[in-house]
Amino acid sequence: MADAAQEQKGLQWLLLGAFGIGILFDWMFYGKGLGISYLLFVIGLYGLFIWQARQRIHLPFSRKQVFDWIWTLPIFLLALTFFLFSNSHFHLFNLVLIPFLFVIQTILITKRHQAKWYEAGFFMEIVETLILYTPKYTRLPFRLIRERIKDRLDQEKYGVMKKVFIGIGISLPLLVILLSLLSNADSVFGHFLGQIPRRVIDVDSLEAIFRMMLIGLITILVFAYMYSLFGKREEAVEPPVPEDDKKIVWDGVILVTILAIINIVYTAFTYIQISYLFSGAKRVLPDELTYAEYARNGFNELVTVTVINFLILLCSMYFASRAKPMLYRIIQVLLSMLTICTGFMLVSAYFRLSLYEDAYGYTHTRLLAHVFMIFLFVLFIIALLKIWRDGFSLIKYYAILTLVSYVILNYINMDVIIAKNNVQRYHATGNIDIEYLSELSYDAIPVVMELVQDKKIEEKFMEMLQERKEILYEDNSWQSFNLSEYRAKAYLP
């Protein structure tokens, strides 16, 4: 009995904490732009989680859980971008990614998983927590409130109140039908009836009701999710695995033949790249093709071939037969050659894109293409390790690399890099796309204004920013404070 009372009290405290998060959500976000508010909300959410975890599972901070807690770093770094930068594309993606990473971390810390975090089964456990258990526990706050009222009232008063609410619930649909019929029957009655909501409830009252409903919704969702982490669950029954399931295996001889043919072509291609592109050798080129045109062509094709090679590499490592050690060793050598040749292709594509940017300017798409090629290059290096170490978990390190790369991508400040390179290109060639620069985020405004010396360019740039200047001064709440926008205001008085 004492345990039940203690559990009831614990749930009431959790509901109170979730209500605090609901109020914090309203205070930070309602009617305001995203800024430092997102980081403060994440801190509040962690505060509730750590408080509940220490109460319910005696949360330890041990060496074994270092990896579980290290997820906090990318979450806080991504939340901080709403304060530091103003790139709307990253903000939109981070808005979804941060809660997803928080779910992963909290499931790991509370041990609500059976599969390892980089296995497909872990994703299904996340889906189970969010889709099955969290909605299931949304009813619990209403039960707690009902029990609280029941305890404070005697049985007779509680029974009367319950019946009154049942009567109100039944009469409301009937009342709507009757009022509709009476309004149509008498237009004067209908007119006075229509005036009642305007006299009783003003716009501010409606807004207050909506905000209370929003706070209630956030409270229920946060409570339900937290309880799904700490509450008792029914044991899931694992489905039986058929014994006759056999892994698909590719024949070693066929695979060696395919890889050998591909590698011969790639080796010849790599030789030509080194001869003409990297060394600048003035050998005989095809008719009507200059060295500059040769260097600029084929970027898209090279990236496509690289992606195809990546798929070949992954499939070969997974499906290749290991029955004959000597044959598999040949496959390993050929896969290594494929990886090295692909590395040269990536370097070639990177160099070609750099030349293209020198000629036509710098954009988001071209900079992201550079980043993607560097990312692919690192993926191939990790794959090279996997080729020779069969027990090496590829998905695990690919997932870590992807998350780290994305956080770095947020912090390199793409718009500043694009602005600097385009301004430098302007000083060298006299060519600049002011319209494109004016469409960049507020991060780029100080860079352009500081580096462009030409008054005509500056005036045209300021003219194009007039509409954004008005938007910049619309929201002055401290919750929306953004360092990038604050710096931009100094140049857009």
Q: d(Cα 360, Cα 432) in Å, to the nearest integer?
A: 9
Q: Which of 160-164, 167-171, 243-247, 454-458 has the lowest mean pLDDT?
A: 243-247
Give the global pTM. Answer: 0.80
- How much is the CA Rg of the chain, to the nearest whole Å? 31
Decide if 67 is inside a domain: yes
Q: What pLDDT is stored for residue 12 in this prediction?
A: 85
Instruction: Give long-range contacts, CB 8 A cutoff, 24+ apart: 306-312.
Output: 306/342, 306/345, 306/346, 306/349, 306/373, 306/376, 307/376, 309/338, 309/342, 309/345, 310/342, 310/376, 310/379, 310/380, 310/383, 312/262, 312/338
Give the tens place of pLDDT for each residue, 236-283.
Answer: 445 454 544 456 777 778 888 888 888 888 888 877 767 655 555 444
Domain final residue pick, 412, 446, 468: 412
User: Comparing 63 with 37, which gets the higher pLDDT?
Assistant: 37
The verdict on 480 and 466 lying in the same domain is: yes
Decide if 421 is inside a domain: yes
Decide if 239 is inside a domain: no
Q: Which of 17-21, 149-153, 239-243, 257-261 has the lowest mean pLDDT?
A: 239-243
The verdict on 215 and 275 lying in the same domain is: no
The verdict on 421 and 408 lying in the same domain is: no
- Domain coverage including residue 178: 1-234
User: Comparing 272 with 30, which gets the higher pLDDT?
Assistant: 30
pLDDT band, residue 161 (cuts 50/70/90): low
The verdict on 75 and 154 lying in the same domain is: yes
Q: d(Cα 45, Cα 98) in Å, to the nearest integer?
A: 12
The verdict on 205 and 261 lying in the same domain is: no
The verdict on 75 and 158 lying in the same domain is: yes
Domain final residue pick, 234, 264, 283: 234
Decide if 200 is inside a domain: yes
Q: What pLDDT is stored for residue 241 in this prediction?
A: 47
pLDDT at 302 over 60: yes
Give the tens place of pLDDT for each residue, 36-56.
Answer: 999 999 999 999 999 998 888
The segment with the largest mean pLDDT, out of 171-175, 225-229, 260-264, is 225-229
Domain final residue pick, 412, 432, 462: 412
The one-character DSSP state at 284 is: P
Domain count, the chain: 3
The verdict on 428 and 470 lying in the same domain is: yes
Residues in the chain: 493
pLDDT at 17 over 80: yes
Strand partners, 320: 250
User: Comparing 285 with 33, which gets the higher pLDDT?
Assistant: 33
The verdict on 432 and 399 lying in the same domain is: no
Decide if 247 is inside a domain: no
Decide if 246 is inside a domain: no
The verdict on 407 and 450 lying in the same domain is: no
Give the tens place of pLDDT for each residue, 338-381.
Answer: 898 888 888 888 887 887 787 788 889 889 988 988 998 999 89
pLDDT band, residue 65 (cuts 50/70/90): confident
Cβ atoms within 10 Å, residue 93: 14
